[in-house]
Structures are given as structure tokens and as C-alpha cells.
């Protein structure tokens, strides 16, 4: 039985930092929607061409395109015990679509593992990351506030959605990378 984990949490919680180690230790294919988009664009696939045109026009890539890439990965990636989704789903609509995709395979989400940090820590981590990676777009207070507001309004309702499904598990995201990883491992 294939496992389907969702790594969840606000921006700056450490999802990207923790995903690689979790994926390696549990033989899961880490699927980051951002990386998927870049790979499809680089490969020049039909989905990649659509995504590139939308991004070039400054528009968001629609759910159908992102979901198509995820579904394609589920069907084509072999040699893993499952998948670790990072950055998807981002809202209730996407969560329901994911449920439908998995139901079509006779499967369902195994667990949602949430790394939780305070809004103040989100601010600190995003600013720190922006400085290290030279991401000026992430450095402004207004941008950070918008990202936090978007998380609370659109993504946070997923907590209740997955709690009602009995699949939601939460880990404290404060402390060292190793301390947070130990908490995630205990949940896995």
C-alpha cells in the first residue's frame, strides 16, 4: 500500500528543511509543487508550457495544472514506498481534489504532519532566509504580512479538515533542526 504524507505548516516552518531527510529515511518521493513546476517547464511538457506562459504573464498556475503534475508523479514515479507532499494542498478545494485523485487509485492520505510556529517566528525566519538567499521579494514586512494572512485565511482551514478525517498530527517547529526532526520522526 502506497503511503501519502502531507508536510504542512506556515511559511518558514521548516518544511523544505525537514522534507529531504524524512523522504530519505522513509523511502518517500518528496514532491514540492515549486520543484514540479520547474521540472515540467524545463522538460517542455504540455503542462510545463502552460505553466510557463501563466507565470510569464504574472498569473498563478491554476489548481488543475498543479494537480495534473501531482497525478502524473503518482502514476510515473517508481521505487518508493510513498510520497511526501510539500506545498500541496494549500486550500480545502485542493484537499478535496487530492482526495478524489487518491480515491481513483483506491487510496487515501496516510497522514498530515504539521510543523507549527508562531507568526513572530514566521517573520524572523522569512527575513533570515531572504537575507541568506538574497530573496528581496521576501524581505519586506508587507510581503511577509501578506504571506502570513494568506496562510491563515486559505491554508489554515486545512487543519480542521484533516482533524475531522483523523489524519492531522502536529509537531512544535521551534528548536534545532535535529529537535524538530525527532518530533516529526516520533509522529511518523
How many whole angstroms separate alpha carbon 67 and alpha carbon 88? 9
3-state secondary structure of 140: coil
| pLDDT tops 90 at residue 58 | no
Q: How many CB atoms lie within 10 A of CB 146?
A: 11
Residue reference for cell 498563478: 60
| pLDDT tops 80 at residue 139 | no
C-alpha cell at 153: 485565511
Q: Among candidates 161, 90, 116, 113, which has minimal Cα distance to 5? A: 113
* pTM for this model (two decimals): 0.85
Greatest extent of the chain over all pairs of C-alpha atoms, in Å: 45
Tell me the pLDDT tens digit for each residue of 9-30.
998 899 988 999 999 999 999 9
Residue reference for cell 521551534: 174
Four-residue CA torsion sign, 158, 160, 166, 170: positive
| pLDDT tops 80 at residue 89 | yes
Which domains can be identified in the chain, with CATH numbers?
3-187 (3.40.50.300)
Instruction: Give the pLDDT confidence score for residue 79 in this predicted structure.
Output: 95
Amino acid at each position: 500500500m502506497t503511503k501519502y504524507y502531507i508536510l504542512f505548516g506556515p511559511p518558514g516552518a521548516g518544511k523544505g528543511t525537514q522534507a529531504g531527510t524524512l523522504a530519505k529515511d522513509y523511502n518517500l518521493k518528496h514532491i514540492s509543487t515549486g520543484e514540479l513546476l520547474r521540472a515540467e517547464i524545463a522538460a517542455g511538457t504540455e503542462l510545463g508550457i502552460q505553466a510557463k506562459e501563466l507565470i510569464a504573464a504574472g498569473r498563478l498556475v491554476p489548481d488543475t495544472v498543479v494537480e495534473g503534475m501531482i497525478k502524473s508523479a503518482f502514476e510515473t514515479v517508481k521505487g518508493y514506498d510513498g510520497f511526501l507532499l510539500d506545498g500541496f494542498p494549500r486550500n480545502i478545494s485542493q484537499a478535496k481534489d487530492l482526495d478524489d485523485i487518491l480515491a481513483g487509485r483506491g487510496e487515501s492520505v496516510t497522514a498530515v504532519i504539521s510543523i507549527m510556529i508562531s507568526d513572530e517566528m514566521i517573520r524572523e525566519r522569512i527575513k533570515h532566509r531572504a537575507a541568506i538567499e538574497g530573496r528581496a521579494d521576501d524581505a519586506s514586512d508587507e510581503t511577509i504580512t501578506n504571506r502570513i494572512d494568506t496562510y491563515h485565511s486559505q491554508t489554515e482551514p486545512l487543519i480542521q479538515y484533516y482533524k475531522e478525517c483523523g489524519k492531522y498530527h502536529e509537531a512544535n517547529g521551534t528548536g534545532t533542526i535535529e529537535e524538530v526532526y525527532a518530533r516529526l520522526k516520533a509522529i511518523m
